[in-house]
Amino acid sequence: MRPRHIYVHVPFCARRCSYCDFSIVVRRVVPVSDYVEAIRSEIALRWPGEERWEADTLYLGGGTPSLLRGEGVARLIDSIRERVVLAEDAEVTVEANPDDVDVASVSAWRAAGVNRLSIGAQSFDPRVLSWMHRTHSASQIAIAVKAARSAGIGNLSLDLIFALPESLQRQWRFDLDRVLDLEPAHVSLYGLTLEPFTPLGRWRDRGEVIEAPDDRYADEFLEAHAVLTDAGLEHYEVSNYGRPERHSRHNSSYWRRVPYAGIGPAAHSFDGSRRRWNISAFAAWQRALDERRDPSGGEEVLDRAEEDAERVYLGLRTVDGLEATPEVARLVQPWVAAGWASLERSRVRLTPDGWLRLDALAASLTTAGSPF
């Protein structure tokens, strides 16, 4: 497979956030050269030969890709370009923490082909940022946005996390207003989840943190929908809002189930029917490549029922919705009556109220055994 959508996992972080269960490694000094060489080795092992192919999107995620700084990101992209030709209109995204974004770094990223930044703001409340173990201050968010635009990257996405514990007394509307003040092209919202084996999970187990109740989760989600769409952002996927023509093309490839490749520790790939994932731990992934071994950590081939379940779930989570056969149209009539979905021109689309019930609604269609 010669994938047209490529994700590269950069696992390095300056500190693990309190809620994070991603595959990361905390490093005071990032081993840029060793990491880039390992990425080069993985590409050579998985796609042997000298043939180059064209890609439409490249996404550097993590972890904290911006910790590679200007030169490191440029070297990483150059190593990928040895085998991949980025299309003339390719979307090239780098995830960044605000404290890593300065004019010099952004200028180097832009010269390397980066044209989109996803900035992890998470909140504008200093108390909340400290509780999350974030390394940036609230004031650095606006500074980062200004630096990015000054250096020529205007396609900016900002992340926020909602449904925080009541004990923090976070003012959700304040954060929504602050993010809109910065006029981003895109906003991603993520409800806080308390995962085991994270600092937050341990706080919960000790009774130090109580999760936000479902009704407040729903209230904050719906408030964000109203505020952001009133400001002209399109709610095009359950967690994502974008200006017209600024929807994430890379992430949309996942929801459309088109083939994509994941490179780096813990990265996932999909070829249309088979999903594979890499070894999660950075050291083990690097050791496998040093020994010229495939760094795969496992794979699965989806059967028809699993493909149908995935197609339903991914279709319902986007504004494009799902094609409705007569049987599906019959099954979703109660959703329409409840205000959870619309049914127009043989497509069922969830409303924001429906997206709050996404898992249950998707499961109800797949367990009904309806044809898709």
In the three-class reduction of DSSP (H, G, I as helix; E, B as strand; rest coil), residue 333 is classed as helix
Q: Lowest mean pLDDT of 56-70, 172-186, 313-327, 355-369, name the range.
A: 355-369
Asked if 192 and 163 count as a contact pair (C-beta separation under 8 A), the reply is yes
CATH number of 5-255: 3.20.20.70
Q: What pLDDT, on the 0 to 100 scale, is given for residue 372?
A: 54
Q: Which CATH architecture has domain 304-367?
A: Orthogonal Bundle (1.10)
Cα separation values, 227 from 132, 210, 237, 336, Å:
24, 27, 16, 24
Summarize the confidence of residues 134-163 as an average pLDDT. 98
Q: How many angstroms separate the Cα of 43 from the Cα of each of 37, 39, 88, 140?
A: 10, 6, 22, 36
- Every domain of the chain and the residues it spans: 5-255, 304-367
Q: What is the mean pLDDT of the chain?
A: 96
> How large is the average pLDDT for residues 350-366?
95
Which band of pLDDT confidence, cut at 50, 70 and 90, is reported for residue 2?
confident
Q: What percent of the chain has pLDDT over 90?
A: 93
Mean pLDDT over residues 215-219, rounded? 97
